[in-house]
Amino acid sequence: MINSELHKQPQLLDRGQHRQLRMRTDVNSLAAARPLNSVFLTAAEFGDACKEFPILFLRAGEMDGKPQVAAVAVLGLSPGENLMLETTHDGGDRWTARYIPALLRAYPFTMARTSPDQWAVAIDRSWKGLSETEGERLFDDQGEPTTYLNGVREFVERLEAEIERTRQAGERLLAMGLLQEKRFDATLPDGQPLVVDGFLAIDEQKYAELSDAEVLELHRGGLAGVLMTHQVSLGNMRALIERRLARGSQPAGA
């Protein structure tokens, strides 16, 4: 899955073109997430992510005539604001949440669609940790994938499979009418209003009115757990405000 705000220069990996390419493991790949105020999340991650971030749904167009949504972990309250990254005294970046979404853990690697039913591993060539002299090799002298690259491929392939399962889950939740437009309103200590809107969240009334058969479907399909962890996560909106306020009271570089 290519995120244009994260993968600035995605390029398919090629054993000829990238035979000398290496990954510097001493360069923090999470720094690329600094301008992201949200990041895609798979349903398999909800259990861990709900303890750290608000999990919301965003409209994502249509597929085969059916409306789609994407699940995201909210990282900040304004565009370009990532409250999970903190600048250290030496000018580096430190991730302060206990969980890192899988899409960020995979970076600078991802999967790119090469045909309607085929995918290939891609890499963000804009990442500063790429080198031809230092770090883990991606291909050996014969152009074969190294053990390191094979491990990366397995991870991004599993991630892409989970992305598809999450897409199907969101499509079903929409079809059942269980997601509705919501907004979050708060007043900051200085009296300034804070409004977060443009997202979908659980329609608790519709959820309470489900038939027994529909409830059973949700449980058997794993969607009941998706909705439960989504509900739990909404309490983290207050924690984001607290992070914003704490950051505003710290000196630069703290």
Predicted TM-score (pTM) of the model is 0.91
Residues above pLDDT 70, as percent of the chain: 97
Is the pLDDT reported for residue 253 higher than 70? Answer: no
Q: What is the largest CA-CA distance in the chain?
A: 64
Average pLDDT over residues 79-88: 92
Using CA atoms, how far residue 57 sits from 168, 170, 246, in Å, is 13, 8, 27
Rounded CA gap, 188 and 208, in Å? 33
Q: Residue 224 in contact with residue 84, Cβ under 8 Å?
A: no
Taking only the tens place, the pLDDT of each residue in 45-78 is 999 999 999 999 999 999 999 999 999 999 999 8
Q: Residue 119 in contact with residue 109, Cβ under 8 Å?
A: no
Domain ranges across the chain: 10-248
